[in-house]
Amino acid sequence: MIPELGHFALIVALLLALTQAILPLIGAQRGNLTLMSVARPAAQGQFVFSLLAFGCLAYSFMVNDFSVENVASNSFSQLPEIYRLTATWGSHEGSLLLWVLILGFWTTAVSVFSRHLPDDMVARVLGVMGLISVGFLAFLLTTSNPFDRLLPAAADGRDMNPLLQDWGMIIHPPMLYMGYVGFAVAFAFAIAALLSGRLDAAWARWSRPWTTVAWAFLTLGIALGSWWAYRELGWGGWWFWDPTENASFMPWIAGTALIHSLAVTEKRGAFKAWTVLLALVAFSLSLLGTFLVRSGVLSSVHAFATDPARGAFILGFLVLVIGGSLVLYAWRAPKMLSGGGFTWFSREALLLGNNVVLLAALGAVLLGTLYPLLIDALGMGKISVGPPYFNAVFVPLMAPALFLMGVGPLARWKEASLPDMLSRLKWALAISVATGILLPLTLDGFKPWAVFGFAMAMWILLTVLIGFRERLKNGARLSSLTRSFWGMQLAHLGMAVGVAGITVVANYQVERDVRMNIGDHTELAGYTFTFRGTTEHQGPNYRAARGSVDVSKNGKVLYELHPEKRIYNASGMPMTEASIQIAMFDDIYVALGEPLDEAAQTWAVRVFHKPFINWLWIGALMMVIGGFLAASDRRYRIAVKATAPTGAATQGA
């Protein structure tokens, strides 16, 4: 009964989404206020029914209703409760339902926080978001119904993929989707602006906080995904340039470019066409990522069950949404150079430079991700493009981006003076170069990439500090600085911390692969690892051999780690559960390999020393907090009362 209720709720949500899409868009075009006013209640109703459907699915998972095919394939009676809940979005169907739910959430948020916007703008934004909802709801109902029944019901489920049974996975998908789908808001604002022909500073100001919040969520989602890979995949890696990872990284790069370009459009009225294109691109890449992961055109570790019908549906949807928006762009984007002029050396010029570099990096990732597909489609064979390629092309592209990141915020709008900048920055430049060259000397081995990484991290740190100092010298107090300034500085600082972390861990991590009998020890990075054997361990839905490894330094035992080798009951799938001692400056990571001789308790054991790896995630977290801070700046709230007359004024002008 409950699954049928969910199915019914989805159908109602689809009807409401259709209403939300069609009536307000017609109303906005005709200036009909009655039709426009349908947008808010329809959007909120759509959200309520999506939530109801989601609740029904979650309920089916929680009560182990194995007569629902989705539950039978993705859950298991022995699965712990928390994973039964997360299994709701662990499957293809469930994750799409989550997508729909989050889109409904964002739509409702827009409908609530848009009281100050002109009615036709609200109607268009909600209408466009309704169109996207229609596409996804139709996709769910026609090809991927999460409530399909299984007759006769299965006796028990086939269990959730063991890799997903980790608490990094509990919040990673919702956060990632909050980011992906959040770009739909920026997209809808862009479309609405193109439709109404009102691409102005007010549009940029309305889009900005939404974009920044979506970007912050996406950052968090990606960081959580990377953290999950590090903990769960058992080889200590944190980024593999897998198509699925790239699918989330590409919208992030586009979103980062968009945030910066929106700043120019809001403050200077320039780059309007460019900014609106980026807003379209950021969400298009989110959709493209969905297509790449769901359709099976690229093979990936994460690939969901693939089905050409699903692929064809999403591709058709892509053509409609992306193709349609790009046609609208080509037709309606402002053809005149907008905004004021600026010189070769100004904040605008630097921000444009940053955009250019980011987009080149985006192009590189897109090219590497799609190249195997292009070659295959042309019938010219099969190749693989993996981490060695991406590292080789992406890292050098980051150099100018990171450099500009330091200079940009310190340059004046319109016209900055190069000699002035040089005198303000010469010390920072000197210290950064010196750090880059000298710091690696104190560490194990001189590595060229370490020089680059340290110099860049120091450069960003120093320029952030200079930014604060100059503000304070000009009479500002720390408490009087705007949240948007704090947010930007914190995010930039987060980047510095992240770069420092990546630099250290990529260049100075060490690992050993050893065979260990009870009592055997091995040394790594000053730590002694002693193997104390394994014991049988019974988990809720798995059996495990649980090892004990003492980690000591100078003869003193510091930690006891328990890496596991698990066999999951339902799938029989073996899993390596690494044991990690987390610390500010280094992680100790132990993973059990294969038992080499069960009787004598000899195991292959992999031990890693991962210095500064946590800086990577701390840095990402700083970016996230920075994003939220910036989005909560007072001026977006002041604007609540003030924009309406300005909007009218601009329209008149």
Partner 1 sequence: MKSLLFSLLLALTTPVFAGEALPVGEDPAIEQRMIKLSEELRCLVCQNESLAGSHAELAEDLREEIRVQMKAGKDDKEVINYLTTRYGDFVLYRPPFKPLTLLLWLGPALFLVLGAGIWYFTLNKRSKLKETPVDEKQLAAAAHLLEDNK
Partner 2 sequence: MKRWLPLVVFLVLVGFFAKGLFLNPREVPSPFIGKAAPAFTTTEVCQPSKLFSAADMKGKVWLLNVWSTWCPSCESEHEILLELSQKTSAPIVGLVYKELRGDSNIDKRKVKELASNEESALVCQRVTDRLQQLGNPYALSILDNEGKIGIDYGVYGVPETFIIDKEGVIRYKQPGVITDKSMQEVILPKLKELGA
Measured distance CA(391)–CA(474) in Å, rounded: 42
For residues 354 and 343, give the distance between their C-alpha atoms in angstroms, rounded to a whole number.
Answer: 16
Write out the binding residues for partner 2, residues 280-299 only, by CB under 8 A.
280-281, 284, 291, 295-299
In the complex, least distance from residue 533 CB atom to partner 2, rounded to whole angstroms? 18
What tokens appear for 132 in the block?
Answer: 């996207």
Site membership for partner 2, residue 190 (CB under 8 A): no
What distance in Å separates the CA atoms of residue 577 and residue 567, rounded to the nearest whole number?
10
CB of 644 to partner 1, least distance (A): 11
Residue that is written with structure tokens 């899993």 in the block: 575
Q: List the single partner that 12 binds among partner 2, partner 1, none, CB under 5 to 8 Å by kind.
A: none
> What is the residue-wise DSSP string for 103-158?
HHHHHHHHHHTTTTS-HHHHHHHHHHHHHHHHHHHHHHHHH--TT-B-SSPPSS--
**Rounded CA gap, 115 and 195, in Å?**
20
Decide which of partner 1, partner 2, none touches 387; Cβ closer than 5 to 8 Å per partner kind.
partner 1
Binding mask 100-139 toward partner 2 (x if CB under 8 A, else -) reads: ----------------------------------------
Q: What is the C-alpha to C-alpha distance for residues 203 and 190, in angstroms, rounded to an integer?
A: 8
Binding segment (CB under 8 A) for partner 2, from list 259-267, 312-320, 614-622, 627-635: 312-320
> Site residues for partner 1, window 181-210 (CB under 8 A)?
200-201, 205
294 binds partner 1 (CB under 8 A): no
How big is the CA angle at 447 (ends 441 and 452), to the nearest 5 degrees?
95
Residue 612's closest CA among 503, 524, 458, 459? 503
Residue 146's CB is within 10 A of a number of other CB atoms, namely 29
Q: Which is nearer to partner 1, 78 or 646 (CB)?
A: 646
Check if the beta carbon of residue 577 is closer than 8 Å to that of residue 565: yes
By CB under 8 A, tell whether 477 contacts partner 2. no
Least CB distance to partner 2 at residue 379 (A): 9
How far is 413 from 411, CA to CA, in rounded Å? Answer: 7
Between CA 493 and CA 458 the distance in angstroms is: 10
Length of the chain: 653
Distance from C-alpha of 54 to C-alpha of 183, rounded to nearest angstrom: 22
In the list partner 2, partner 1, none, the entry touching 213 (Cβ below 5 to 8 angstroms by class) is none
SS3 content of the chain, % helix, strand, coil (to 5): 65, 10, 25
Q: Residue 439 CA to chain centroid, in angstroms? A: 32
642 contributes a contact to partner 1 by CB under 8 A: yes
Residue type present at position 200: D
For 206, the enclosing helix (H) or strand (E) is: helix 201-232
Question: Is 353 near partner 1 (CB under 8 A)?
Answer: yes
Q: Does residue number 575 form part of the binding site for partner 2 (CB under 8 A)? A: no
- Secondary structure of residue 431 in the 3-state scheme: helix
Smallest distance from the beta carbon of 604 to partner 1, in angstroms? 5
Q: Could you tell which of partner 1, partner 2, none binds residue 356, using a CB distance below 5 to 8 A set by kind?
A: partner 1
Pairing of strands 564-568, 556-561: unpaired
Distance CA 483, CA 630 (A): 5
| CA 511 and chain centroid, separation | 29
In terms of CB distance, is 291 or 608 closer to partner 2? 291
Picked from partner 1, partner 2, none, the partner binding residue 522 (CB below 5 to 8 A depending on kind) is partner 1
Contact of 176 with 218, CB cutoff 8 Å: yes
524 binds partner 1 (CB under 8 A): no
637 binds, among partner 1, partner 2, none (CB under 5 to 8 A by kind): none
- Where helices occur in 409-482 by DSSP H, the ranges are 418-442, 448-473
Stretch that binds partner 2, among 1-9, 36-44, 258-266, 591-599 (CB under 8 A): 591-599
CA distance 297 to 284: 17
Which residue of 163, 170, 356, 443 would you call a contact of partner 1, by CB under 8 A?
Answer: 356
Tell me how far, at minimum, the Cβ of 35 lies from partner 1, in Å.
31
Binding test (CB under 8 A) with partner 1, winner from 386, 444, 553, 597: 386
Q: Is 653 in the site for partner 1 (CB under 8 A)?
A: yes
Binding to partner 1 by residue 375, rule CB under 8 A?
Answer: yes
Among 42, 126, 220, 270, binds partner 1 (CB under 8 A): 270
Give the CA-trace dihedral at 620, 622, 627, 628, to 10 degrees. 120
* Under 8 Å between Cβ of 451 and 437: yes
Q: Please choose which of partner 1, partner 2, none residue 33 contacts, taking the beta carbon within 5 to 8 angstroms, the exact cut-off set by kind.
A: none
How far is 230 from 236, CA to CA, in rounded Å? 5
If contact means CB under 5 to 8 A according to the sort of partner, which of partner 1, partner 2, none does residue 650 touch?
partner 1
Q: In the range 355-414, which residues lie near partner 2 by CB under 8 A?
A: 370, 372-374, 376-377, 381-382
Which residue type occupies 326?
L
Residue 57 binds to partner 2 (criterion: CB under 8 A): no
296 binds, among partner 2, partner 1, none (CB under 5 to 8 A by kind): partner 2
Least gap, CB of 111 to partner 1 (angstroms): 24
If binding is defined by CB under 8 A, does position 323 make contact with partner 2?
A: yes
Instruction: Indicate whether 579 belongs to the interface with partner 2 (CB under 8 A).
Output: no
- Identify the residue among 384, 442, 479, 554 touching partner 1 (CB under 8 A): 384
Instruction: Report the DSSP beta bridge partners of residue 523.
Output: 528
Measured CA to CA, the distance from residue 97 to residue 89 in angstroms comes to: 7
List binders of partner 2 among 326-355 (CB under 8 A): 326-327, 329-330, 333, 335
Q: Report what 240 binds from partner 1, partner 2, none; CB cut-off 5-8 Å by kind.
A: partner 1
The structure tokens listed for 558 are 């510091």
Tell which one of 49, 189, 452, 531 touches partner 1 (CB under 8 A). 531
371 binds partner 1 (CB under 8 A): yes
Site for partner 1 in 68-127 (CB under 8 A): none
Q: How far is the CB of 386 from partner 1 (least distance, A)?
A: 3
Chain positions contacting partner 2, by CB under 8 A: 273, 277, 280-281, 284, 291, 295-299, 308, 311-312, 315, 318-319, 322-323, 326-327, 329-330, 333, 335, 370, 372-374, 376-377, 381-382, 572, 596-598
